[in-house]
Amino acid sequence: MNKIHLESCKEYLDWYARAFDYLVNSKNLDRQTNFFNGLLSLHPDVSFKYRLAFHAIFWACEIAGTAALLYDDIVDEGQVRRGKPCWHRLNHVGLTAINDGTFLLMMMITWQICQSVNIRVKLIALTDSATDFVHFVS
């Protein structure tokens, strides 16, 4: 029975990793990077602790914005978002996209709670692949 449960968990993790890659556009990180670089140019002595806090805040904003767009696309029956078919329009997704938006929000909230109570989370460098963030918060 444990084997079935573990396989089921892996299926869910794979699903949400695919959803995250599809929904969270890594090109949007330009806003985060530009602001962060501007901050560092004004205050190069910002501590590592505050750098992590800024990254966490920007990721939270990016994920919350993505979830809001996901819900908006469902309500407005959107067809295209960021040059791709809306997530809920994909044949294998449909209204399951509502759960995916909730997952994004819960992931963001969980990350913020971990940060606020100073729980150490294994950090993996952010790259062009949004999937790395799934590992970043796990």
pLDDT in tens, 6-17: 466 778 778 888
Mean pLDDT of the chain: 75
Question: How confident is the model over 41-89, as pLDDT tens digits?
Answer: 888 887 887 777 777 777 778 888 889 999 999 999 999 988 889 999 9
Locate 135 and state its tokens.
Answer: 């590992």
Q: 2-136 has which CATH code?
A: 1.10.600.10
d(CA 27, CA 33): 10
DSSP code string of 58-101: HHHHHHHHHHHHHHHHHHTT--EETTEE-GGGSTTTGGGHHHHH
Structural domain spans, the chain: 2-136
Pairing of strands 80-81, 84-85: antiparallel
Please give the share of the chain, as a percent, with pLDDT higher than 90. 19
pTM metric for this prediction: 0.67
pLDDT on residue 80: 93
Q: Mean pLDDT throughout 99-120? A: 77
